Amino acid sequence: MTDSGGRVALVTGAGNGIGRAIAEKLARQGYRVAVNDLRAEAAAEVVSGIEGAGGRATAAPGDVSEPDDVAGIVRSAEEVFGPIEVLVNNAGFLQQKPFVELTFEDFQRMVAVHLGGTFLCTSAVLPAMLERGSGVVINVASQLGQIGGVELSHYSAAKAGIIGLTKSIAREVSKGGVRVNAVAPGPINTELVLGLSEDWRNTKAAELPLGRFGEPEEVAETVAFLASDAASLYVGQTLGPNSGDVML
Ligand code: ADP
């Protein structure tokens, strides 16, 4: 187990899937983890699981696309654990629709949660990180933000935006002691993917250089690395736990 020195992490959208795996991984490494999710019960359940395993966690529910909620999320996390030292912007959702059927409302909601949420949460914690001269921000993008996705134009655009935001903020704040990076997962065995037909999954897996999909825990490993001092030279990067699907 890597010792995080009990640093404080906030993981958004940590009530399920990849975010949950990230929160649990960081907790196992000794971080004190604020677990955000839109669904308060899901956040509470993850907190109980972490505490049951001997880790330290607190629930910080709320909608990352709402400025007032974000202020509350950060306040409730910091009241319990003190200043947030590691922020993982992960909250999001997937919606598949052909571009010609996509409404402007669909597009705006997608951008508001993924890109707006990343903006709001980062804005809420970055000034204090810069004042302290240290901090880490990790944004969960997707390989679809790098290569595009069929019937996923709004999702891909929002994820591409997250990669651009990551690089730009990293250029501005790295000298201030804050490292900002992204991860762009490829096909991962999330609930959604596991719900697709086995045929499709087998065909797609066979096309991957690695021959298999990733697990949420393997994405969490990449995030934990970026959060750690072992990643001291990584700035504005987008690491790709993607089974070799996209090689950049
Ligand atoms: P994945 O399978 O990619 O990990 P999930 O849909 O399982 O994605 O998990 C994403 C999490 O993000 C869900 O628990 C969901 O409730 C949460 N979430 C979605 N939108 C928001 C939001 N606006 N604010 C906070 N959390 C959100």
Distance 12 CA to ligand 1 centre (A): 8
Q: Does ligand 1 have an atom closer than 6 angstroms to the CB of 23?
A: no
Distance CA 224, CA 241 (A): 12
Distance 145 CA to ligand 1 centre (A): 17
Where in the sequence numbering do the catalytic residues fall?
A: 155
Distance 90 CA to ligand 1 centre (A): 7
Q: Quick one: 141 exposed, middle or buried, by C-beta within 10 A (0-12, 13-18, 19+)?
A: buried
**pLDDT 10s digit of each residue in the chain, 248 long?**
556 779 999 999 999 999 999 999 999 999 999 999 999 999 999 999 999 999 999 999 999 999 999 999 999 999 999 999 999 999 999 999 999 999 999 999 999 999 999 999 999 999 999 999 999 999 999 999 999 999 999 999 999 999 999 999 999 999 999 999 999 999 999 998 999 999 999 999 999 999 999 999 999 999 999 999 999 999 999 999 999 999 98
Q: Does ligand 1 have an atom closer than 6 angstroms to the CB of 93?
A: yes
In this structure, what token pair is assigned to residue 217? 């825990």
The closest residue, in CA terms, to atom 19 on ligand 1 is 92
Domain ranges of the chain: 8-236
HSE of 11, CA atoms in CB hemisphere, 13 A: 30
Asked if ipTM goes beyond 0.90, one says: yes
Q: What is the pTM of this model?
A: 0.98
Domain spanning 8-236 has what CATH number? 3.40.50.720
Q: Does ligand 1 have an atom closer than 6 angstroms to the CB of 16?
A: yes
Residues 6+ apart with CB under 8 A from 191: 16, 17
The closest residue, in CA terms, to atom 15 on ligand 1 is 13
Distance 133 CA to ligand 1 centre (A): 30
